Structure 1
Amino acid sequence: MSTTHGPRRWRLAAVAALVTLLAAACAGGGDAAEETVPESERPGGTLSIGLSADPNGVDAAVVNQVWRTVARALTDSLVFFNPETQEIEPWLATDWTVEDARVYTFTLRDDVTFHDGTKLTSEVVKKNFESLARPGIHSSAKTIVEGIKEIRTPAENVVEVEFEKPNAAFLVSLSRAHAGIVSAKTAELPVEERQKAIDGSGPFSLEEYTPNQRIVLKKRADYDWAPEYFGRSGPAYLDEVVYKIIPEDSVRNGAVIAGDELQFIYWVNAKYVSQLEGAGLTITETVNPATGTEWPVNTSSPFLQDVRVRQALQHGIDREEFTKLVSGGYDKVAKGPLSEANPYFSDQSEYLTYDPELSKKLLDEAGWSEVGADGIRVNADGERLSLRFPRDGAAEQVVQAQWKELGIELVLDPPLDAEANEKLLSGEYDIAYWYHSTPDPDVLRANYGVATGSDRSFIAEDDKAGQQLDALLQEQNTLTDKAERQAVVDEASQLLVEDAYVLPIVNDTDIWAFQPTVHDIQPVGLDQYLYNAWLSEK
């Protein structure tokens, strides 16, 4: 089967739930001001955004989280995912053909340049894809190019990507900042250098990155290739964007309320929403369209090879209580491994019920029937049922307390930030954490696939259910028929939670707070687009 994208848009299957959630999220504050200030008169100026922590870099291919903020302003992608129509639309690529979800041929724009003045060509795109396969690249980026057989450049503005097997998720994955196109020079940089300095084709260029202090972006005056979704062409309105690292919630909140040092804060703790609203700030919410927060279970751990222990953990989480305590109800209780905003969501709630008595019964059956003097269960060998987890925060402490009631110890032992990704993929922890943000079911393969994927549950060769799960995860990414793919995704989703290879916790809701003078910061999923953002007078 071959499909062609030309002047008309190549349509993905529309899903009403995601359209509703994301379309609502795209309606930022300042609508009244928009009506009275024509585009030609919208002022530039500096937008200051407060972050709670240094993202440890500026390149989404190398470090996590920065895709939501800085990276999306610096790099463009080959294609754009329209959150309202669920369509993949042109961006750096003007059109493309797809043959059996295995061979993708892109025609590139001929007017795009990078911040260093070099031109976008098929050879540059080829270097980009090759660079994502290198050691040190973040797993979210690396999985996008897994399985590529060959990259061909038959013309300066034509690039062909051929996979060993069909890859139905490739176009959606390419729309993410993880696959943002960078200059040839950046693509060739050592990974440790690339994360500190990136040269993209986005509407802003990197002016300064001072770790743990600030990141400064400058407008590109010659930018003129935004997706049609944004309704205009030409450069961004803002002259400058400054991200300030302010770890303390109280200091960050106070700064945005005053409105001089900061005008916008991202990832607001729900407990401060009423305070910020009362101070006159605008609040917006965006639901993760992929997975939400979930905890992969390390099935290679001697404590967790027994499915009954994993199921005890699954039924030992009171997700309703978790959501109330951690987010004040802003997050949504997980109903499966995929977010309800994902186009391929299916409700697996029956395997996620809170049933502590069932958990205790399962633990007894698995040989953890004795309880030590400290309240923690022990087995016949005297080993305590103690599990390591790589975070220590209010959210983790809620589950820690719930499992302690069952006789399970959860030791909260976070690694250094610089070591986190490597250690999460090493199997060092009994349980880890993860979420994904791409609105496609292939996020499950990317996280839990064995043949291809990150194998975050460390599935053994003799784990028959695990091998069946991997076969399903690999198969769904070869299917182009929506109904066929949905059926396979549903089966994989059930197996993931029924046998507790993953513990879905909540569907995350990102909360933004900003001054009424800030207009049109637009989310696409959890990505933060600053192209149309502008500031009005107080």
Structure 2
Amino acid sequence: LWFGPYRVVRVEPGAAIELTRNPTWWGKPAAFETVIIRIVENTAALEVNLRSGAIDYIAGELGLSLDQAAAMEEREGDAWDFAYKAGLIYEHIDLNLDNPVLADVRVRRALLHAIDRETLSERLFFGRQPVAHGPVSPLDWVYDADLPRTPFDPDAARKLLDEAGWTNEKPDGLRRNAAGEPLRLELGTTAGNRSRELVQQVLQAAWKDVGIDVRIRNQPARVFFGETVSKRQFSGMAMYAWLSSPESVPRSTLHSTMIPTAENNWSGQNYTGYRNPDVDVLLDSIEVELDRGKRRALWAELQAAYARDLPVLPLYFRATPYVFPKWLKGVTPTGHQYSTTLWIEEWRAEE
């Protein structure tokens, strides 16, 4: 499995993983004999488990939403320690580009113009989560600060929809095409994730304002990720996050050979169905270019292509909240996919 300070001794699928100290670990001995990682499906239940003592610590990688943690800190800040780590977790909305409506880049850009991501971040996340303009975080050295942006501009959204043939001529305010079909899309995410469900409501209202009817269709995480997203069963939009490492080349999410199909046994993570030969070449080139200057230039081209094509609606980069018991010391939050348990041998209890 992994030659680390702990080894796996028990797995309860969907419930828990038990680790015990590894006697053959070559490094600093871990302080705790046993560590149990519990799997809790929704963020409301996480809070309940923490308060009841069923769990001791909520890691930020897949833990409480930012608004939950901030509210909890305000109410019960003396009971636990809180840390907020800016990171590389990219919250976004995948678009199914096989949907004829979303195949039109004008509609995709209109969807992004219609939402005020700055205000959304400020009001729902206390300004802690910077707006994303692409998949690369400003914390990453390959980030291009000059990449094209799509600002909040509802009038521009309306103009693009008009150009795309979606006009607003009826009293209900809903746009329709020449055949009279309404501009209606589905937006799905993980049920029970309070933060995402709040964001959905904000986005739904913003899109309604420009004449787009968006229906919410949420599912448990095991269904949403295990079937709907991974097998490209979502008809319109899917909101979730990618956890990445620094300078992580997005081959699996953008390369045309990475589109999951029944024929390739649903391998790959290009869930949008994005196909751009120029982007394929850029991804291939970045992976083999060793010169930092040349590699950075290739990354800039990739980010520009992403901003032009908008296969995905970028939302923001998440700040991850960590909730510790007062006695737990030595935990080092990372803010990216390399989890805080990487240095679990440094964890210790102090009264």
Normalising by structure 1, report the TM-score: 0.55
Q: 2:164 aligns with which of 353, 363, 366?
A: 366
Which residue of structure 2 aligns with residue 170 of structure 1? none
Give the number of the structure with larger relative contact order, counting CA–CA contacts within 8 Å between residues 6 or more apart. Answer: 2
Which residue of structure 2 aligns with residue 302 of structure 1? 100
CA distance in 2, matches of 1:435, 1:219: 31
Aligned-pair CA distance for 1:208: 3.0
**Residue 431 in structure 1 maps to residue 237 in structure 2:** yes
CA distance in 1, matches of 2:107, 2:45: 43
Alignment check: 8 A CA contact 1:479 1:485 kept:
yes
CA distance in 1, matches of 2:71, 2:162: 45
CA distance in 2, matches of 1:499, 1:261: 46
CA distance in 1, matches of 2:233, 2:48: 39
Structure 1 pair 362/472, CA: closer, same or farther in 2 (3 Å)?
Answer: same
Which residue of structure 2 aligns with residue 334 of structure 1? 132
Deviations 1:446-505 (A, max 9, x none): 211113563333135xxxxx3222322222222111111111111111121222122110
Which residue of structure 1 aligns with residue 261 of structure 2? none
Which residue of structure 1 aligns with residue 12 of structure 2? 210
CA distance in 2, matches of 1:269, 1:337: 20
Deviations 1:373-397 (A, max 9, x none): 5432110112211122231522222
**Residue 288 in structure 1 maps to residue 63 in structure 2:** no
Deviations 1:44-88 (A, max 9, x none): xxxxxxxxxxxxxxxxxxxxxxxxxxxxxxxxxxxxxxxxxxxxx
Q: 2:207 aligns with which of 395, 403, 407?
A: 403
Which residue of structure 2 aligns with residue 499 of structure 1? 309
Structure 1 pair 414/253, CA: closer, same or farther in 2 (3 Å)?
Answer: closer
Alignment check: 8 A CA contact 2:133 2:307 kept:
no
RMSD: 2.6
Which residue of structure 2 aligns with residue 458 of structure 1? 273
The 5-angstrom pairing of residues 477-516 of structure 1 reads 477-516=287-326
CA distance in 2, matches of 1:248, 1:416: 9
Deviations 1:341-395 (A, max 9, x none): 2221112564231111100000000000135554321101122111222315222
Deviations 1:163-214 (A, max 9, x none): xxxxxxxxxxxxxxxxxxx3xxxxxxxxxxxxxxxxx433222233334543
Which amino acid letter does the alignment assign opposite residue 269 of structure 1?
S
CA distance in 2, matches of 1:343, 1:320: 23
Q: 1:240 aligns with which of 6, 30, 34?
A: 34
Which residue of structure 1 aligns with residue 346 of structure 2? 532
Aligned-pair CA distance for 1:243: 2.8
Structure with max Cα Rg: 1
Alignment check: 8 A CA contact 1:336 1:348 kept:
no
Which residue of structure 2 aligns with residue 123 of structure 1? none
Alignment check: 8 A CA contact 2:57 2:325 kept:
yes
CA distance in 1, matches of 2:40, 2:309: 41
CA distance in 2, matches of 1:331, 1:396: 16
CA distance in 1, matches of 2:254, 2:125: 27
* Number of positions where the alignment pairs a residue of Structure 1 with one of Structure 2: 323
Which residue of structure 2 aligns with residue 268 of structure 1? 64
Deviations 1:131-168 (A, max 9, x none): xxxxxxxxxxxxxxxxxxxxxxxxxxxxxxxxxxxxxx
CA distance in 2, matches of 1:245, 1:457: 28
CA distance in 2, matches of 1:397, 1:268: 19
CA distance in 2, matches of 1:249, 1:416: 12
Which amino acid letter does the alignment assign opposite residue 432 of structure 1?
A
Q: 2:255 aligns with which of 437, 444, 449?
A: 449
The 5-angstrom pairing of residues 133-152 of structure 1 reads none
Alignment check: 8 A CA contact 1:390 1:415 kept:
yes
Which residue of structure 1 aligns with residue 262 of structure 2? none
Secondary structure of the residue aligned to 2:207 is: helix
Alignment check: 8 A CA contact 1:386 1:411 kept:
yes
CA distance in 2, matches of 1:299, 1:408: 17
Which residue of structure 1 aligns with residue 263 of structure 2? none
CA distance in 2, matches of 1:209, 1:326: 36
CA distance in 2, matches of 1:257, 1:320: 33
Secondary structure of the residue aligned to 2:323 is: strand
Deviates more, 1:294-303 or 1:418-427: 418-427
Alignment check: 8 A CA contact 1:369 1:378 kept:
yes
CA distance in 2, matches of 1:446, 1:476: 13
Gaps of 5+ in 1: 1-181, 183-199, 225-232, 461-465
Normalising by structure 2, report the TM-score: 0.82
Deviations 1:420-451 (A, max 9, x none): 24432433322234413121140x22211113
CA distance in 2, matches of 1:428, 1:257: 37
Secondary structure of the residue aligned to 2:242 is: coil
Alignment check: 8 A CA contact 1:317 1:403 kept:
yes
Which residue of structure 2 aligns with residue 354 of structure 1? 152
Secondary structure of the residue aligned to 2:107 is: helix
Q: Percent identity?
A: 25
Gaps of 5+ in 2: 192-196, 259-267
Structure 1 pair 467/251, CA: closer, same or farther in 2 (3 Å)?
Answer: closer
Secondary structure of the residue aligned to 2:322 is: strand
Structure 1 pair 415/273, CA: closer, same or farther in 2 (3 Å)?
Answer: closer
Deviates more, 1:353-362 or 1:292-301: 292-301
Aligned-pair CA distance for 1:521: 1.6
Secondary structure of the residue aligned to 1:522 is: coil
